[in-house]
Structures are given as structure tokens and as C-alpha cells.
Amino acid sequence: MLIRVLTLIACLLTLASCGDYAALEAIENNKKIADSLFRVQKDTLRKSFQAECDSVYKIHYDAAVDSIKQLRIEGIKGLINPEKE
């Protein structure tokens, strides 16, 4: 009984490992296709990413300046009235 189970497991493992080479070839082909598509669309992607970055830059810059300004105001208030803190 144990020999049959071990034989069955060995056969299943052997059959399951047969498709690995096909999968590796498919992965390589997909990488080549993705690389060629990226090379073709690289300029368009770069322009769209730059436009996206430019659109959110002002928002993030203003938020950063406002938070720094608020920290400075709180610091000045702390220097003027140290007992309130």
C-alpha cells in the first residue's frame, strides 16, 4: 500500500513538473513583448507622467509651505507667551 502511494506521488510530481519549460518560455516572450511596447510608448509615457507630476506639484508644494508656516507661527507664539504651552 505504501509503495503504491509513493509511486502515485512520484508520478504526479513528474507530470506536474513537465510544463515548467513552457511556462519559462512564455514568461520570456511576455517580457520581450512588454519591453518592446514600453520602448515604443516611452516618450508618450514620459510626457504623461511629467504632466501628472506638474499637476500635483503645486498642491503638494502649497501644503508643505502651509505646514511649515503653521509650525513657525506656533513657534513664534511659544516664544512670545511661553507660559501658555
pLDDT digits (tens, 9 = 90+) for 67-77: 999 889 999 98
Question: pLDDT tens across 14-69, in order?
Answer: 666 555 666 667 788 888 888 888 888 888 888 888 888 888 888 999 999 999 99
Q: Is residue 61 part of a domain?
A: yes
Q: Is residue 19 part of a domain?
A: no
> What predicted TM-score, i.e. pTM, was given to this entire model?
0.37
Domain count, the chain: 1
Cell of 31: 517580457
Q: Is residue 14 part of a domain?
A: no
Cell of 17: 513538473
Containing domain of residue 80, as a range?
43-85
Q: Is residue 57 part of a domain?
A: yes
Are residues 85 and 78 in contact, defined by beta-carbon separation less than 8 angstroms? yes
d(CA 54, CA 59): 10
